[in-house]
Amino acid sequence: MNEYLSKIKLDDDVMDILTSSKKLIFPKTREELLALSFGSDDKDEYNVEYEIPGVGNRVEATVTRCKNGVVINYPDDYMRRRDPDSLIVADDQPTDKPKFNDTYGYEFDGLRKETFAWLKKQELIVLPFLSGGEKYGYPSILIAPANAGHFALALADLQGRLNIDDIKAPFEPVAIVYLAPPFRHTHFEGKQICVHNRLEKVHEVFSYNLYPGPSAKKGVYSVLLNIGEREDWTTCHASAVKVITPYDNEIVIMHEGASGGGKSEMLEKVHREADDRVLLGKNTVTGEKNYLRISETCELRPVTDDMALCHPKMQNESNKLVVGDAETGWFLRVDSITAYGENPSYERLFMQPSQPLVFINLQGTPNSTCIPWEHTLDSNGKPCPNPRVIFPRNMVPDIVDGTVEVDVRSFGVRCPACTKSDPTYGILGMMHVLPPALAWIWRLVAPRGFKNPSIVDNSGNALKSEGVGSYWPFATGKMVKQANLLLEQICSSTSTRYIIIPNQHIGAYDVGFMPEWISREYIARRGGAKFKQEHLVEARCTLLGYCLDSIKVDGQYIRKAFLQPEKQGEIGIEAYDIGAKILTDFFKEELVKFITPDLEPLGKQIIDCFLNDASLQDYMELIPMRY
């Protein structure tokens, strides 16, 4: 074992954890991680439990062996989705996030030592990996108690793993994830807390809970954002897909947005009814349904699902943003699969995978098949809204490896229904074209929107901001720094175009994610978002840029009620204007926080324009838009 430790360069206090441990396990294969998920007795059902001082034995998670994979469940409803307030910063580097000592009234160093002391008493899994992927990734390791093998498996599938035998010395981690689940009870009143401690050479992530969302998933994202903040680049919160039309034309769409904004859905095929029609939307007032018939849809070649690395080594002279996947596995939410046949391609991949998968918040019976529509029931008897499957990239059909140039950047917004009797911000048409300056503003605010299924804070119609680029909940540094990085990115990508797309509702119509799929078909067949000025109509709400005068897909025109919602009889101008004011006032409240001396002058000009109710032409003059 000493030969393994000699390959890894760590500070003395971290190395002391490993040399003091009862036993070190360096998993070399995925099969070893699968076995570790069920403990030393290799049972078909396994409780991950810890002795909590003053509480007694506490089961934090259950692991079930199914024919198609490992099923992880949490007894506590709260642990089944990410707490958006889980990130705490412990160091003294610049940050706009809550500081540990301000929040808890004492310095983190003492708790760090307590955590290390606890880890020394455990048998440990040590898992080397690369944050950011194989080609551009940064050396990292996980240090976790051996009874949490399922967590190590989840991290390995999301971020990749390195075989210690293949590592050449010195392997010097720039990120370390420490897993210590009991501390959420002893120090944090049961809350999901991830403490980030950015040392001079190492970004430490202390995961005090077993749900992988805030740590194995978003914690590693935090590491990449911190590195990018120091090196002047960023990782976008986005899916990306290469779209190939029936005529073999190709474009790449990158879809950004807050959790629940439709990133994974952008990679899905158009959903169809049993008779092969496409349900465009159902009127929530009249019950009327609108259908399309699309004989042949575009082919999809997925690139990224959630984290699009924009590393400077990727960029070229194309004047388009170039991205690649920052992950080796995707954290897919399957709440939309509620019955057999709703998503046949995914159902087949999940139920008959080429290798066992990791399922979270799904029902598991030992040695049976885990069914993607059988979601774990919360204590209220309703299905958990955040069932997940970790799906390795190498199992995704038609996956694109390497980098791609982005033709269109779209931004997804979850919208409630909007009617005369209940005016809301659900006033977005099927697709809006944005000048780059407005596209930047949307990324600064990144509204979380209607009934987000992925996080604990699920507050209905209330507008909340997920912040810069929609990845602010995972960032550890300064908002203005990230705002400047995004502005520079937009200014340097002059050939990439910008749109926004609603989901869930367009005015009075319940549309799900259909606007994404129809817009994708439309812009791909056009060869990208290349519009003549005469095809664009200024939206009644300036924040929404331009509406389209018409959209024609496979010979059928989309009704104008879906393109310009104020023309819906159930809304009208008055209700639309109320919704526009809700949206605009919210953006104004959120944007003022960016006006600091560190904001780039162009950024200040753009925000001033918005605060002063500028025209679309004013934004066009600040950063020209190519039609």
User: Is pLDDT of 372 > 90?
Assistant: yes
pLDDT at 204: 98
Quick check: 458 pLDDT over 60?
no
Name every residue whose Cβ is closer than 8 Å to that of residue 140 and which is 6 or more positions away in sequence.
128, 129, 130, 131, 159, 173, 174, 175, 176, 177, 220, 223
| 536-538 vs 194-198, strand pairing mode | unpaired
Q: Amino acid identity of 373?
A: W
Burial per residue of 429-458, b for 16 or more beta-carbon CB atoms within 10 angstroms, e otherwise: bbbbbbbbbbbbbbbbbbbbbbebbbbbeb
Residue 604 and residue 560 share a domain: yes
Assess contact for 295 and 278: CB atoms under 8 A.
no
Residue 254: which of 302, 217, 319, 297 has the closest Cα?
302
Residues 305-329: pLDDT tens digits? 999 999 999 998 889 999 999 999 9
Q: Is the pLDDT of residue 139 over 70?
A: yes
Find the CATH number of the domain harbouring 594. Answer: 3.90.228.20
Show the domain range for 507. Answer: 235-321+406-622
- Residue 20: the pLDDT is 95
Q: What is the pLDDT of residue 241?
A: 98
pLDDT band with cut points at 50, 70 and 90 for residue 530 = confident
Are residues 121 and 240 part of one domain? no
Where among 184, 202, 231 does a domain terminate? 231
pLDDT for the residue 165: 94
pTM of the model: 0.94
Considering the domain architecture, whether residues 139 and 266 belong to the same structural domain is answered as: no
Query: What's the DSSP call for residue 53?
Result: T
Note whether 250 and 130 are same-domain residues. no
- pLDDT higher than threshold 90 for residue 541: yes
pLDDT for residue 3? 85
Check whether residue 509 and residue 556 sit in a common domain. Answer: yes
Residue 131 lies in a domain: yes
| 528 shares a domain with 452 | yes
pLDDT number for residue 41: 74
Domain end point (choices 182, 210, 231): 231
Residue type, 44: D
With H, G, I as helix, E, B as strand and everything else as coil, classify residue 228: helix
Query: Has residue 371 been placed in a domain?
Result: no
pLDDT band at 627 (very low <50, low <70, confident <90, very high): low
Q: Which two tokens stand for residue 475?
A: 């960032």
Give a three-class secondary structure readout of 281-318: EEECCCCCEEEECCCCCCEEEEEECCEEECCCCCCCCC
The contacts of residue 412 (CB under 8 Å, 6+ apart) are 255, 256, 257, 258, 261, 262, 263, 266, 500, 501, 502, 503, 516
Question: Which CATH number belongs to the domain containing residue 50 in this structure?
Answer: 3.40.449.10
pLDDT digits (tens, 9 = 90+) for 385-419: 999 999 999 999 999 999 999 999 999 999 999 99
Q: Answer yes or no: is pLDDT of 460 > 60.
A: no
pLDDT at 1: 59
Is residue 180 within 8 Å of 208, Cβ to Cβ? Answer: yes
- Residue 337: inside a domain, yes or no? no
480 shares its domain with 576:
yes
Asked if residue 457 has pLDDT above 60, the reply is no
Confidence check: pLDDT of 260 > 60: yes
Please indicate, yes or no, whether residues 243 and 212 belong to a single structural domain of this protein: no
- What band does 280 get if pLDDT is binned at 50, 70 and 90? very high
Decide if pLDDT at 537 tops 90: yes
Of 231, 256, 271, which residue constitutes the final position of a domain? 231
| Total domain count, the chain | 2
Is the Cβ–Cβ distance between 172 and 138 less than 8 Å? no
Yes or no: say if 24 and 119 are a contact pair by the CB < 8 Å rule.
no
Residue 360 pLDDT greater than 60, yes or no: yes
- Whether residue 15 has pLDDT greater than 80: yes
The answer to the question of residue 362 being in a domain is: no
- The per-residue pLDDT for range 463-489, each reduced to its tens digit, is 888 899 999 999 999 999 999 999 999
Residues 276 and 261 in one domain: yes
**Is 339 contained in some domain?**
no
Q: What is the pLDDT confidence band of residue 251, given thresholds at 50, 70 and 90?
A: very high
**Which stretches of 37-112 are assigned E, i.e. beta strand?**
45-52, 56-66, 69-73, 87-89
CB 198 within 8 A of CB 226: yes
2: pLDDT confidence band, cut at 50, 70 and 90?
confident
Phi, psi (degrees; rounded to nearest 5) at 47: -95, 125
Same domain, 485 and 584: yes
Q: Which is more confident, 459 or 522?
A: 522
**2-11, 281-290, 383-392: least confidently modelled range:** 2-11
Question: Is there a domain that residue 183 lies in?
Answer: yes
Does the pLDDT at position 341 exceed 60? yes
210 and 169 co-located in one domain: yes
The pLDDT of residue 517 is: 97
Give the mean pLDDT of the chain. 94
- What is the pLDDT, as a whole number, of residue 12? 95
* pLDDT score of 456: 60
Q: Is the pLDDT of residue 461 over 90?
A: no
First-to-last CA distance in the chain? 61
Whether 459 has a pLDDT exceeding 60, the answer reads no
- The reply to whether 550 falls in a domain is yes
Q: How confident is the model at residue 291 (pLDDT cuts 50, 70, 90)?
A: very high
Q: What's the mean pLDDT in 134-157?
A: 96
42-100: pLDDT as tens digits:
789 999 999 998 889 999 999 999 999 999 999 999 999 989 899 999 999 999 999 99
Mark whether 274 and 220 lie in a shared domain: no
Joined together, the tokens standing for residue 167 give: 């590592």
At residue 449, the pLDDT reads 74
Q: Is 365 within a domain?
A: no
